[in-house]
Structure 1
Amino acid sequence: MFDHDPTDPHEVGLNADRLAAIPEFFKKNYVDTGKLPCMSTLISRGGEIAHESFVGATEMGGKQPIGPETIFRIYSMTKPITTLAIMMLFEEGKLRLEHPVSRYIPEYKDVKVWAGGTADKPKLKDPDREMQIIDLITHTSGLTYGFLMQDETDEIYRNEKVGHHKQTLQEMARQMAGLPLAFSPGTEWRYSHSIDTLGAIVEIITGMELDQFFRERIFGPLGMNDTDFWVPEDKVHRLMACYQKDAKTGETTLADPGGAASKLYAKRPIQLNGGGGLASTVRDYHRFALMLLRGGTLDGARIISPKTWEFMRQNHLPGDQTMRGMGRSAFTEVMADGVGFGIGGSVVTDIVQTRQPGSNGTYSWGGLASTFFWIDPEEELIAVQATQLMPSSTYPMRLQLQQLVYAAIDW
């Protein structure tokens, strides 16, 4: 939904020439050099779109240019949406953040913590306390990801094939309850399947499958008509090809067969992955971000209250710690210096420690294939960036976009 041309950047305090330099930067340094197939960027201030650009093609070296209709795999940018769903249920009094997870998934009552041994013969101990909803929200639950390659707990996830495509969301959540936690809840920060478990809880509380809840309660009211867990047949030609770069060989190859015509998203999946399953467009995701910036409402649709949004963008890590200070894991979708974690996304707590201009309180997150967004409430600024290259840590594109956007502020 985008029914007018971008506004004059000067009217919202942005420099048009410096904004125009953004697509040129990514074209010259990434697309023309063959590092990326494309780059799309959308920037708004004060709720007005001031810049929208599309560079490159739907396939590496292809002839079909990307545009506003291009659909991207947004992977972990699904997480803020799933967490928003939890906060909507919170507003309705259907849960509390301090509730034990076992209140909704009884198997979590008996969860154990890793205490040594091997992946095949682990030593276990009781957690210091039960896992709570807030632990899932902030990735302090003790759950992990198999791809982290960090210790025996994620090795167990790999051995047990956690998250395989034939599992439902609820089946995966219950499976993880029977596996050892990496640490006692609330004691560390680690990126994990926590938000998938939140998605299962949304289903359990509402009696609705997650895609239905999203469509009826979020996507439909916000006009996010191109966002879902799969891409219908009449839209599959708009799906961008996804690539991966091998860290050892440096070779960039297709991440799944078929390129832009990939069939992986062509039908509704069994697992509605609340932590990373959605596909979307930059315009759709901007509408989600704009709703948050405007205090939970957009075009007459009230999704959450402004006080809930204010609450979401605070640092909810214990003792106001940062992700870097609280986490052993080196993997995160955003920089960790000077950054805490709120409800569904990272929150800048000390802009000086981030080593670049910006604002304390900025809320952001990204996805595995190098998609990214941030909301700066102080500057009323939103940026959405999308390409398709895994992993997201391959190049410093997110930091560079932030440099370029903040350099474009005139007043």
Structure 2
Amino acid sequence: MSFDPTRLANLNSWMQAYVDTKKYPGCSVLLRHGGDEVHFHACGQRSIETGLPFTRDTIVRIYSMTKPITSVALMMLAERGLFHLDSPVSDFLPEFLNMQALIPNATRLDQTEPAPSPTLHQLLTHTSGLSYPFNPGLLPAEMDARDLIFKPDQGCLADQVRALADLPLAFRPGARWEYSVGIDVIGRVIEVVSGQTLDRLLAENVFAPLGMTETGFSVPTGAGDRFASLYTPLEGDAMALNSAKASNETLRLVDQPGGSPFEATTLFSGGGGLVGTIDDYARFADMLRNRGTGNGNRLLGPRTVDFMLRNHLPGDIASMGPQSFAEQPMEGMGFGIGGAVVLDPACARTPGSVGDFSWGGMASTFFWIDPVLDLTVVFFTQLAPSSSYPSRSQLKALVQAALIE
């Protein structure tokens, strides 16, 4: 398998068009085949205000691309026989012991019925009954009112998880799929099981073995001005999707170095708290593509990775009645442990292989691995929300078009 250089160059012009039309401030893409670099390109700026370029060593907020990393950490503990994925989360976090779930078609938050504690598997696969403040519905609205979104400056993880457990579930665990803070709860489970804070466990067991020297919950010491600014095309809060209104500016500044909560993190969000570089994330993605090995170290057994990359839902996401925001299409897409799995590229309406594993972040970052074609692709930019433009499906189409069988 090889790539057409002319068609690969279309990636560059596509990215530049996003910058020229002021949709993205800057962006970068890294494409690897069999672990070897095939293409890298960066353009635009990491800070419009200072004119600094978006470069290979730019540090970005990866938001929900944290979820696959946290999921790997949990599976590393599972491989040690410390728990089973069908274990209820209340075995580790007693605040989830006596749960209530909203009854179907509830109109008030007190219209509930007793519900079982979600399992670790349900938390990992977004079938737990938890939600996000930016989803529609009663529970998300209450989460929004209480600001339960696991920001880096919101105290500590244990306190935020306890506050979350005070609310009812949006539905009985397993009843449907809804994008949620479930993997933030998994992060707290990891702390309880391991006896380490999540930041320390990831640093010692994932980042150091893979050589991810510039990834963490805070901007690394000595990073200087390499931390990118964050922009939005919306008015108000870039995460408030239920009240989203277009701004007069397509690139309105919402967070920048010097005053960012990611420079003094206190809450380690396993669902969305990491920052890092594109090469660091490619090392992690390559570890998955290599079935558990990276940088000469084995993090997971190959069969464990195969298990993670399978669809863990009864059908595609769409078949489970989702009412929420998601980082991926829902038709033709299943969900594994920490990311989406392509079941049918035609139904997903994007070229690719059956078994492609991927996920993205709220600032429009994205990655996927293609086990069939032995590909790893990582895309970085800093624009929230990620639903602003169809860049992910466009990127997949561009990469597929450049392949020569």
TM-score, normalised via structure 1 length: 0.92
> What residue identity is the alignment partner of 2:312?
H
- 2: distance between equivalents of 1:326 and 1:236? 45
- Which residue of the partner structure matches residue 144 of structure 1? 131
The answer to whether the Cα contact below 8 Å between 2:66 and 2:273 also exists between their aligned partners in 1 is yes
- Which residue of the partner structure matches residue 256 of structure 1? 254
- Which residue of the partner structure matches residue 396 of structure 2? 402
The answer to whether the Cα contact below 8 Å between 1:73 and 1:369 also exists between their aligned partners in 2 is yes
The answer to whether the Cα contact below 8 Å between 2:341 and 2:356 also exists between their aligned partners in 1 is yes
> What residue identity is the alignment partner of 1:202?
I
The answer to whether the Cα contact below 8 Å between 1:361 and 1:376 also exists between their aligned partners in 2 is yes
Structure 1 residue runs of 4+, over 6 Å off? none
The answer to whether the Cα contact below 8 Å between 1:36 and 1:60 also exists between their aligned partners in 2 is no
* 1:243-267: CA deviation from partner (whole Å, max 9, x where unpaired): 011152343344534x354432222
The answer to whether the Cα contact below 8 Å between 1:37 and 1:61 also exists between their aligned partners in 2 is no
Q: 1:339 aligns with which of 333, 336, 350?
A: 333
- 2: distance between equivalents of 1:273 and 1:61? 28
* 1:147-173: CA deviation from partner (whole Å, max 9, x where unpaired): 22x111111212233236333112222
The answer to whether the Cα contact below 8 Å between 2:211 and 2:295 also exists between their aligned partners in 1 is no
Greater shift, 229-238 or 56-65, is seen at: 56-65
> What residue identity is the alignment partner of 1:351?
P
- Which residue of the partner structure matches residue 171 of structure 2? 183
- Which residue of the partner structure matches residue 313 of structure 1? 309
- 2: distance between equivalents of 1:182 and 1:255? 33
Q: 1:57 to 1:261 in 2, by over 3 A?
A: farther
- 2: distance between equivalents of 1:263 and 1:48? 35
Q: 1:103 to 1:206 in 2, by over 3 A?
A: same
Q: 1:277 to 1:108 in 2, by over 3 A?
A: same
Q: 2:40 aligns with which of 43, 47, 52?
A: 52
Where 1:126 maps in the other structure, the secondary structure is strand
Aligned positions, number? 392
* 1:366-393: CA deviation from partner (whole Å, max 9, x where unpaired): 0000000001100001110011001000
Where 2:341 maps in the other structure, the secondary structure is strand
TM-score, normalised via structure 2 length: 0.93
How far off is 1:61 after superposition?
6.7
- 2: distance between equivalents of 1:117 and 1:32? 47
Q: 1:311 to 1:208 in 2, by over 3 A?
A: same
Matched, 1:155 2:141: yes
* 1:100-131: CA deviation from partner (whole Å, max 9, x where unpaired): 11110112110100126555x5111012x431
The answer to whether the Cα contact below 8 Å between 1:167 and 1:270 also exists between their aligned partners in 2 is yes
Superposition map of 1:295-374 within 5 A: 295-317=291-313, 319=314, 321-374=315-368
The answer to whether the Cα contact below 8 Å between 1:40 and 1:387 also exists between their aligned partners in 2 is yes
Structure 2 runs not aligned, ≥5 long: 235-243
* 1:60-87: CA deviation from partner (whole Å, max 9, x where unpaired): 3753212111001000000000011110
Where 2:232 maps in the other structure, the secondary structure is strand
The answer to whether the Cα contact below 8 Å between 1:241 and 1:254 also exists between their aligned partners in 2 is no
Q: 1:391 to 1:175 in 2, by over 3 A?
A: same
Q: 2:211 aligns with which of 208, 213, 223?
A: 223
Where 2:46 maps in the other structure, the secondary structure is coil
- Which residue of the partner structure matches residue 237 of structure 2? none
Q: 1:134 aligns with which of 121, 135, 147?
A: 121
Matched, 1:18 2:7: yes
Where 1:39 maps in the other structure, the secondary structure is strand
Q: 1:33 aligns with which of 21, 33, 48?
A: 21
Q: CA RMSD in A?
A: 1.6
- 1: distance between equivalents of 2:398 and 2:310? 26
- 2: distance between equivalents of 1:166 and 1:48? 40
Q: 1:102 to 1:354 in 2, by over 3 A?
A: same
The answer to whether the Cα contact below 8 Å between 1:237 and 1:261 also exists between their aligned partners in 2 is no
Structure 1 runs not aligned, ≥5 long: 1-11
> What residue identity is the alignment partner of 2:391?
M
Where 1:53 maps in the other structure, the secondary structure is strand
Where 2:32 maps in the other structure, the secondary structure is strand
* 1:326-346: CA deviation from partner (whole Å, max 9, x where unpaired): 133241001111001000000
Where 1:147 maps in the other structure, the secondary structure is coil
- Which residue of the partner structure matches residue 290 of structure 1? 286
- 2: distance between equivalents of 1:35 and 1:196? 30
Identity of aligned residues (%): 41
- Which residue of the partner structure matches residue 77 of structure 2? 89
The answer to whether the Cα contact below 8 Å between 1:189 and 1:328 also exists between their aligned partners in 2 is yes
The answer to whether the Cα contact below 8 Å between 2:23 and 2:251 also exists between their aligned partners in 1 is no
Matched, 1:109 2:97: yes
- 2: distance between equivalents of 1:143 and 1:105? 15
The answer to whether the Cα contact below 8 Å between 1:34 and 1:60 also exists between their aligned partners in 2 is no
Superposition map of 1:197-212 within 5 A: 197-212=185-200
Where 2:261 maps in the other structure, the secondary structure is coil
Where 1:190 maps in the other structure, the secondary structure is coil
- Which residue of the partner structure matches residue 9 of structure 1? none
The answer to whether the Cα contact below 8 Å between 1:244 and 1:391 also exists between their aligned partners in 2 is yes
